[in-house]
Chains A and B, each alone.
Chain A
């Protein structure tokens, strides 16, 4: 088990390094000279050269990448070109909002999705199973920005129950939670449908396996058979999907952050790309990559803990 975790973690580091190198190259091949964009058309060549030097853009690309990594390890992601503030603290401010949002979204959708999936599997081919199937597919098919806009219109503007914009008072936890409801609802809704379908399918598969017949043949209580004997296995693919889903939620969060005017990583990246604010872009991208890799690695490790056969395969 420990060996498996070490292998998974080293693989994770490797993925991060590879992804960042790739992104570095990609960002630098976007057309448009960042220095001209920032300084405007009337900048003198001397001014451009000095800014280039400050940003390290006069160095060859491999050297820039190497600098980036050595600094990143010590927690230094450079400084914002415009405000001169350290990128680490800019991102740090935004990160908690985004993490809170994706964590809230995936939590409620996973809990509800798993429950509905089990329910459908147990009530297979009944009316309630069929209704849930239609609902799930509709949830999956509805884009999150549509849900965002309509839930905003209905719950905030029409009913006035929930706040429309912002992330709430940073000192007031309750206020923050209230502000989290609509965005988390909007981007989590399609995941409810997705996870419910997935859990239903794997539950049905597991319930037809021989070991479940054994458990039932020993007269084990129904609840044990479903939750201890079947769900524990049926949940494995769902955990993998949730791990990958955290990454997709990062991009879904961009919509929600724009529609609900929430601060967050997604909004920061978009703003920084339009202004060619390279250090901030790179810092945010590095962080998104880390979140993605950490969540997939974590889901793999959880799977290995739940299924003793996985840890032995690698």
Chain B
């Protein structure tokens, strides 16, 4: 069953310099119990995508077209009150920066009990639920730590608390926005393992945003590669990682320090930078940095299905050269 269906989503930001076209014609689905990773450089639209799904876009953002169907309802058309029946119920989210994700003047227990406000159970039951959840994510001595404030926890602990809160509501869709970026490598592995373990228990789907390719490969079933506000490749993790079809995906993998086998003085990079999204170039969005550019790249490529489980947006695929 499809949990989330994003169809032709386009989001613009009104800026002083003009309209910034942050997301253009983004479509994908997330199935039951699947972990879908989204990978891409900074500024590729990952955060805008998340904000659209939870309907908390910035004030200057305009959702210019598209639908976001979550469990049969189009989130785009819901009012703030109707949205409240989805947020913290069917969808929950783990944000990027664990140091700022909790309210600094309320105890962890208070915040964990507040998010259960819909449950008609007693205060004691809610407290027990919070304690259980903290124990599950591996916070030692959860009973006494419930009365502590966020600043009394370390970064890794705070991220575990964020995970505990997001999973406590037993969502159908968990959004994880670079949940391990602010943490060191050892903690990263622990958090990823915890996430996978709990996903199995709760049976939810996860939309996992990261720019850490190793983590995506480790955790996800599918991967979406984004570039400058578009999806350029989407497919089964194994297919995409072993046989990337889009030149951007190939370049991205070539730059992954985890995949570099030879010693060299300079790390590889993709030459050039992301195009200006206010004044979009015509044709393929990646053509200025692409090493395999051909003449037809001045027209926009369409998403091309290369196999049952993999699709990419590149002219080379239809030209039969890649």
Contact = CB atoms under 8 A, between A and B. Distances in A.
Given A228-B106, A229-B106, A232-B105, A218 B95 contact: no
Interface of A: 209-222, 224, 228-229, 232-233, 306-309, 312
A212 B102 CA distance: 8
The secondary structure that dominates the B interface is: loop
B105 A307 contact: yes
Given A210-B95, A232-B105, A307-B105, A216 B87 contact: yes
B87 A217 contact: yes
B83 interface: yes
Contacts of B102: 211, 214
B149 A218 contact: no
Contact of B88 (A209, A210, A213, A219): A219
Contact of A211 (B85, B101, B117, B169): B101
B84 interface: yes
B13 to A, nearest CB: 16
Contacts of B115: 218, 220
Contacts of B105: 232-233, 306-309
A210 B102 CA distance: 8
A223 to B, nearest CB: 11
7 contacts: A214-B93, A217-B88, A219-B85, A219-B87, A221-B84, A307-B104, A308-B105
Nearest to A230: B103
Given A221-B117, A228-B106, A308-B105, A216 B100 contact: no
A218 B169 contact: yes
Given A224-B114, A309-B151, A210 B101 contact: yes
A233 B115 CA distance: 19
A211 B88 contact: no
B209 interface: no
B54 interface: yes
A126 to B, nearest CB: 12
A88 to B, nearest CB: 42
A307 B86 CA distance: 31
Contacts of B270: none
B104 A233 contact: yes
Given A309-B149, A309-B151, A215 B84 contact: no
B80 interface: yes
Interface string B96-110: 010011111110000
Contacts of A229: 103, 106
A214 B92 CA distance: 9
A210 B98 CA distance: 10
Most chain B Cβ neighbours within 10 Å, of A212, A228, A308, A309 = A308
Interface in B106-146: 106, 114-115, 117
Contacts of B85: 219
A267 B103 CA distance: 47
A216 to B, nearest CB: 6
